[in-house]
Chains A and B, each alone.
Chain A
Amino acid sequence: MTAASLVVKDLHVEFSGFVAVDGVSFDAHLGEVRFLIGPNGAGKTTCIDAITGLSKAAGSARIGEQELLGRPVHKIVRLGVGRTFQTASVFDELSVLQNLDIAAGRHRPSVSLLRTRRGVDPAIAQALEETGLADEIATPAGILSHGQKQWLEIAMLLVQDARVLLLDEPVAGMSQDERTATGELLQRLAAKRIVLVVEHDMDFMRRFATRVTVLHQGRVLSQGSVADVQADGKVQEVYLGTAGAATTADMLAVPDLPGVAAGTQKQEVD
């Protein structure tokens, strides 16, 4: 597996005249947990939709030499680009193992589909271990907790052997402990795969981001390290101007004053 980067250049998405993403460029490399943040409606999800072929887009999104834009969804997946969805979308009626088995299936020859599953693939066992779902192997995915569903989605990307993980608000609705576990998991994964996280939650971003791109109204507002974007006046302005007052407080909270922003939340800043 080469260390090809994800390079997005001048991405442009329009929905019947409304420009949702307007000339966005960013890149993500191996070894970093890359964040894409911004207020609601900034166009974060649309960026991911465009990269994964769900929305038609102009511009370019490449992995190494491969252009992604213009290909059908399943072909982009086969190039090693995997994503999760804002609302966890696992197969509720199938067990955790069955979910993972389906995710692993595209590497198998078609005829093997007619056979019954025997045992557990090593890749699946490893993904279960990695995401802490080993005890839930027979649980129907529909009755997993919210956090576990997100982990199952990540595990599905792992068995799919995606080179690029695009995660859309993976910690939404998670408890603080679950967030920490997820962040640490992403840091581990980033060593071998490109990890791009779309987030809303500033505290989570501050703790785990290597580099950040801030989107606002479909454009890149600011780009750089966590400290860079926090210090950026334009970012502060946008966040003060939006309705999300809590997020605003979160965003601007000075890292070395634990407890100020989120009350009881513990903050570990490195």
Chain B
Amino acid sequence: MKLFKKSLLKSLWVFHLPLSPCNNCDIEIVDALTPRYDLERFGIQLVGSIRHADVLLVTGVPNYKNWQKVKYLYEQAPKPCFVVAVGTCACGRGMFKDSLNSPCNVDEIVPVSMYIPGCPPKPEAIISGVVKLVERLKSNKL
């Protein structure tokens, strides 16, 4: 079991789920995967299908069109699956908090394991967030 857990932490495959963001957070996520930062060192890969994913990177604010789909997608992912909210929007909706077309926060729909604030967060912040997620998982706090 310990081996399986270790191997899970060493190869987190990331699925990128944009919920109508302003696109800056997405650019920063893609930036974190470029050769300069090279997340493949830690075994982190961007995958295209939710079935392959271990981590759901959520960016942006949920709106009435997509907030149920987040739940639907989370249920489709093979467990264990962790949700990471990237950007102020996904963490707490920021300036869209009282907006008329946003029903709720991301963490009211799915359980969020890690928040990475910033508008947008720097790639360094994203990497340190992922590292903190791995450390929390290691010490069994989740």
Partners in one complex: no
Question: Measuring CB to CB, which residues of chain B are less than 8 angstroms from any residue of chain A?
Answer: none
> Which positions in A face B, CB cutoff 8 Å?
none
